[in-house]
Amino acid sequence: MEFNIGSIQDGRLRLQGLVMARGEYCLEVIEAGEVLVFALAYGCLQITRQRGGQPASYCLHATPRGPLMIINPGTYCVVAERSALGLRGSRRKP
């Protein structure tokens, strides 16, 4: 579940609260020139990216000790390994 905290520059920069129960997942689509950031206060998120018909090529983790910034375009699957509470920030193209 995400809820808006605020946005500036006509919605290009957005900050949202993030609450995900263990096992919950969502898909994030990142286009060229866009950025997505996860900064957690609690829990762990696992982020994987699949390329056309192939298994997931790598697995990234966002934790309270290590926020995660995604800059490569593609479709990502975000799964809560442990219940998570934190912030989701994004910068979209104009």
pLDDT given for residue 40 in this prediction: 95
pLDDT given for residue 4 in this prediction: 64
pLDDT given for residue 55 in this prediction: 65
Domains plus CATH for the chain? 2-91 (2.60.120.10)
Q: Which residue has the tokens 């920069």?
A: 13
SS (H, E, C) the chain: CEEEEEEECCCCEEEEEEEECCCCEEEEEECCCCEEEEEEEEEEEEEEECCCCCCCCEEEEEECCECEEECCCEEEEEEEEEEEEEEEEEECCC
* pLDDT-flagged residues of the chain (< 70): 1-11, 52-57
Going by C-beta distance under 8 Å and a sequence separation of 6 or more, which residues neighbour residue 52?
Answer: none
pLDDT given for residue 47 in this prediction: 93
pLDDT given for residue 12 in this prediction: 76
